Amino acid sequence: MRGRDTQRAAGGQGAAIAARVAPRVMYACSALLLAFVTILVIAPRAEAANYPGYAQVQAAKAAVSDANATVAQLDAAVVQLSDALHQADVAVLVADDVYAAARQANEQSQLQLFLANARADEADRALVTARADLAGVARAQYRSGGQFGALEAVATSTGFEDVIARTEALKRASDTAAIAIDRVRAAELVQQTLRDFAAQASEKAIVTEKAAEGALQAAVEASAQAKQALAETQVAHDEAVARLAALQNTSAALERQRQAGLAASRSSSASKKAAARAAAAGPAPVGGYSVGTSDKGEGAANFGLAQLGDMYSYGAAGPDRWDCSGLAMGAWGSQGVYLPRSSKSQYGYVAKVTYSELRAGDLIFWGSGGNSGSVYHVAIYVRDNIIVEATKTGYPVKTRDYRNWAAGDLMAYAGRP
C-alpha cells in the first residue's frame, strides 16, 4: 500500500513537471511569434501616366503653350513645376523607405528562423537525453527483477501519443520510472511545439523575402517615373522661363534670376511657417527611446561627415553606399546605439526634442505635410543648422542647411536616439 502511494506521488510529481514546462514553452513560443510578426506596407506601383507631379506638369505645359498666358499665369506654372519636382523626389524617398522597412522585416524573419531552428534542435537533443534516461531506468529495473518489458515499450515509443497510450505500463512503473516517463512526455511536448514554431518561422521568412523583393521593384519603378517627371518638368520649366522673358522683354538669364528670387521668397515663407508650427507644438512629447550621450551624438555626426562623397543607393546601409535611414542607422550604430531601419520607424522610435534643443547627432525628419504617418526622409544634425544626409540616386552624401528644402514637410520635432 505504501509503495502504491509512493508511486502515485511520484507520478503526480512527474505530471507536475510536464504541467510546469508546457505553459513556459507555449509562452516562449508566443513571445517569439509576436516579436517575429512585422507589418509590411508595400507601395502601389505607379502607372505610366500617373507619376508624381503628372498633373502639375501637364497644367504647366498647357499654360506654356497658351499664347495668351499672362506673366502671372506662367509664374504660377513655374510654381506648379517646382511642386512637381518635389513630389517626384518624395516619391523616390517614400519608395526607398518602404524597401528599407521590407528589408528589415526580411532580416528579422531570417534571424527568427535561425533562432527557432536552434531551439528546436536543442529540444531534439533534450528528448534524446530523456529517452536515454528512461531506458537506463528500464535496464535498472530489469536487473532488479522489475517490469522491463513495459518500460522498454515506453522508452522505444515513437511519439507523444504512443507514450500516453501505454497507461498500463505507466501504472506498473516505479516512482523513478514515472518521473522519467513524464520527462519524456514533457520533452516530447517541447520538441513538437518548437518544431511547429520553426515551420511557421520558415513560412514567414519566405513571405518577407518576397515582400522585400516586391518593395525593391516598386522603388525602382517609382524612381523611373520620378525621373520621367523630372525630365518633363525641366523642359516645361525652361519653356516657361523663355516665354516669361519674351513677355517682359528681358533675357532668359535675368528671368532665371527673377525665378530664383521668387523661389527663395517661397522657401523663406515656408521656413517661417515651419518655425511657427514648431513653436506652436510646444514642449516635446514624452516617450521614445534615447540612450545616446552628447559625446555619442558628436561621434554619430562625425561618422556621417566621414561618409561625404559616398553615393546613394536603395536600401543601402554602408560601408560605402547609403540611403537616408541607412546613414542614420550606421552613424548611431557606430556609437553602439540601435535604430530601426526606415526613416518612418526611426521617427516613431526615438525621443523627441525641439529645434531649440538640437545638438550634434540628433535626427531631423521630413514627412508629407509634417505628418508623422508620412515620414519619408531623415538627416543627421551637425551644428549651426547644418545636416549631413543621403538623398537620392545619382547624388553623394552631402551637407546643407536643413531649412532650405521642403520646409513645409519638416516635422514639428527632431529626434534624439
Instruction: Please give the grid coordinates belonging to residue 175.
Output: 516512482
- Residues 48, 224: Cα–Cα separation, whole Å: 10
Residue 417 contacts residue 361 (beta carbons within 8 Å): yes
Give kind and range of the element (H or E) at residue 378: strand 375-383
Residue 189 contacts residue 19 (beta carbons within 8 Å): no
How far from chain centre, in Å, is Cα 385? 28
Helices assigned H by DSSP within 248-293: 252-281
β-sheet with 375-383: strand ranges across: 351-353, 414-416, 363-367, 375-383, 386-389, 398-401
Residue 57 contacts residue 137 (beta carbons within 8 Å): no
**CB neighbour class for 32 (10 Å; exposed up to 12, middle 13-18, buried from 19):** middle
**HSE (side-chain half, CA atoms, 13 Å) at 293:** 4
Per-residue pLDDT of the chain (417 residues; tens, 9 = 90+): 444 444 444 444 444 433 443 443 333 333 333 333 333 333 344 344 456 667 777 777 777 677 676 777 777 777 777 777 777 778 778 878 887 887 777 777 777 777 777 877 887 787 788 777 777 766 666 666 555 445 555 555 555 555 555 545 555 545 666 677 777 777 777 777 877 877 787 787 788 777 777 776 776 776 677 667 667 767 777 777 787 788 777 777 777 777 777 777 766 776 677 667 666 667 878 889 999 999 999 999 999 999 999 999 888 998 999 999 999 999 999 999 999 989 999 999 999 999 999 999 999 999 988 888 889 999 999 999 999 999 988 899 999 999 888 888 999 999 999
- Domains within the chain, CATH numbers bracketed: 2-245 (no CATH), 274-416 (3.90.1720.10)
- Residues 187, 214: Cα–Cα separation, whole Å: 41
User: Bridge partners of 367?
Assistant: 375
Cβ-based neighbours of 132, under 8 Å, separated by 6 or more: none
Q: Any idea what DSSP says for residue 289?
A: B
Long-range contacts of 203-210 (CB under 8 A, 24+ apart): 204/36, 204/37, 204/109, 204/112, 204/113, 205/106, 205/109, 205/110, 205/112, 205/113, 207/109, 208/38, 208/40, 208/102, 208/105, 208/106, 208/108, 208/109, 209/106, 209/109
